[in-house]
Amino acid sequence: MDFNDTPEEAAFRAEARAWLEANAEPLADGEQPEMGENLSPENVAAAKAWQKKKADAGWACITWPREYGGRGATPMENVIWNEEQAKFKTPGDIFSIGIGMCGPTVMAHGTPEQQARWIPKLLSGEEVWCQLFSEPSAGSDLAGLRTTAVKDGDEWVVNGQKIWTSGAQICEWGILVVRTDPTVVKHAGLSYFVVNMKSPGIEIRPITQINKAQGFNEVFFTDVRIPDDQRLSEVGNGWAVALTTLMNERQSIGSGMGVGSLEDLVDFAAGIEIDGKPALEDSAVRERIADYVTKARGLKNTSLRTLTALSKGLPPGPEASMGKLVGAVLQQEAASFAMDLAGASGALLDADATPDAAAWQERYLSLPGLRIAGGTDEILRNIIAERVMGLPSDARADKGIAFKDIPTGPPQ
Ligand SMILES: Cc1cc2nc3c(=O)[nH]c(=O)nc-3n(C[C@H](O)[C@H](O)[C@H](O)COP(=O)(O)OP(=O)(O)OC[C@H]3O[C@@H](n4cnc5c(N)ncnc54)[C@H](O)[C@@H]3O)c2cc1C
């Protein structure tokens, strides 16, 4: 593997940087890019404007095929774009679900009419999308979901509840998996729809998280009507469509985990004092940080192996399953160490009182979510055990049983 840009990649980097320099303000020394989703009205407006600007110049959705308005860029060029964009002040990202998961699913399973209706406004940032999959008793076991859709003429009537729906409160559209046939095994009775989030009968209740943010929601459906022409793929084929979404979800969450935030840890330790000297000069601190950075570099190189495979048109190898599992734990440990270094101020989540330490607190409190979203640590270990190592599969007590016959309460 060659770590240097090829001449084509170097040219792409120069072009990306030139456009960014002409259209955005560089981050000041030590300033961090906006982390994660920010759902304030100001950020939503700024993020939509930034997305539109990129779309007009051909820098939005750069890995999407050209026929859908993308740039047809390679995975490696996407990494280069992200590296360059991270050096500039840009609004918090509100499009990751739409661009990373919903768009590719509509491209793979939508009719030409559906694609023409949804893709352009997703690309230009006019419309924001969310993912309505998880339910109170269906997360890891997504195919056990209980929200139903019943056909009525040219429409479907949806009833049930979704939960953990990121960004639902600011979205125009959502991708929705529902049960349309409870008389067959659980995976076979699902169908997949695109729902207008402003439809009558949808109630969105934000959930306040440990870090005080309201990033996700409960979404209740009461007799919500969805036109049949908003169904993706055949009735009963929802699981196959959902797998396309989930595959894209894991790819977009797993990539990008790694060394970035640990460079901040080095800067942070350089600015904090222990016994009158910068913490970074303390040998125990140096050893710990070196350990994290070594692991992060290993992760980055592992993800580059995946990219090399993708660039050569090969399927990603087993290493693709490791990014989120290893990276999220590593980031959590590093954030915890930074809070220890900050001493008493590490306990404060008040950006006015302790701007630097509060940023680590904020990160520490957000990271458990990353170990759950898009597949928990345990589920990722199951995937590695079964699909990578070839170990026997997890016991599945409901195998071969029609969904309606799966016991849901204590034995009678
Ligand atoms: C920040 C965040 C954002 C999210 N955004 C969205 C979103 O936008 N849309 C959406 O639909 N969902 C979203 N989710 C939900 C997410 O997909 C689920 O939380 C996740 O799939 C786990 O499901 P669950 O919460 O129901 O936990 P459960 O599946 O009930 O798991 C509970 C515990 O049991 C363990 N467990 C479960 N099954 C097994 C098994 N077979 N073997 C071993 N251990 C097991 C799990 O690892 C976990 O520790 C989000 C979650 C988070 C944290």
CATH assignment of the domain containing 261:
1.20.140.10
- According to the model, what pLDDT value does residue 372 have? 92
pLDDT of 13 over the 80 cut: yes
Is 244 a domain residue? Answer: no
- According to the model, what pLDDT value does residue 167 have? 96
- According to the model, what pLDDT value does residue 30 have? 66
49 vs 267 pLDDT, higher one:
49
Is 317 a domain residue? Answer: yes
- According to the model, what pLDDT value does residue 255 have? 55
**How many CB atoms within 10 Å of residue 26?**
11
Residue 265: strand pairing partners: none
Across 52-61, average pLDDT: 96
Task: Looking at mean pLDDT, say which of 24-38, 113-127, 348-362 comes out highest.
Answer: 113-127
Is 385 a domain residue? Answer: no
Structural domains of the chain, count? 3
User: What does the alpha-carbon distance between residue 192 and residue 223 come to, in Å, rounded to a whole number?
Assistant: 17
191 vs 304 pLDDT, higher one:
191
Instruction: Report the residue count for the chain.
Output: 412
Distance 371 CA to ligand 1 centre (A): 9
- According to the model, what pLDDT value does residue 62 have? 93
Distance 350 CA to ligand 1 centre (A): 29
Domain stop point among 204, 235, 266: 235
CATH number at residue 81: 1.10.540.10
Closest CA to ligand 1's atom 1: 369
User: What does the alpha-carbon distance between residue 206 and residue 392 come to, in Å, rounded to a whole number?
Assistant: 40
Distance 35 CA to ligand 1 centre (A): 22
Indicate if 219 and 135 belong to the same structural domain: yes
Give residue for tokens 């509509």. 106
Indicate if 70 and 40 belong to the same structural domain: yes
SS3 326: helix
CATH number at residue 208: 2.40.110.10
- Given ligand 1 and candidates 197, 366, 376, 380, which is best to mutate, with the most ligand atoms within 8 Å of its CB? 376
> Which ligand 1 atom sits nearest the alpha carbon of residue 142?
21
Indicate if 264 and 371 belong to the same structural domain: yes
Across 298-304, average pLDDT: 83
**Which residues does ligand 1 sit against, CB inside 6 Å?**
130-131, 133-134, 139-140, 164-166, 216, 369, 372-373, 376, 378-379, 382, 394
- According to the model, what pLDDT value does residue 258 have? 47
Mean pLDDT of the chain: 90
Active site residues: 249
Structure tokens at 362: 């904020």
Indicate if 259 and 333 belong to the same structural domain: yes
Closest CA to ligand 1's atom 51: 373
Distance 312 CA to ligand 1 centre (A): 33
Using CB atoms within 10 Å of the CB of residue 363, give its burial: 0 to 12 exposed, 13 to 18 middle, 19+ buried: buried
Is 21 a domain residue? Answer: yes
Q: Kindly report the backbone phi and psi dihedral angles of residue 258, in degrees, each rounded to the nearest multiple of 5, phi listed first.
A: 150, -135
Reported as a single tens digit per residue, the pLDDT across 198-211 is: 999 999 999 998 87
Is 390 a domain residue? Answer: no
Indicate if 137 and 193 belong to the same structural domain: yes
Q: Taking every pair of C-alpha atoms in the chain, what is the biggest distance, in angstroms?
A: 76
What is the residue range of 277's domain?
Answer: 255-375
Indicate if 264 and 226 belong to the same structural domain: no
Structure tokens at 14: 């120069």
Structure tokens at 346: 């590490």
325 vs 29 pLDDT, higher one:
325
Closest CA to ligand 1's atom 26: 139
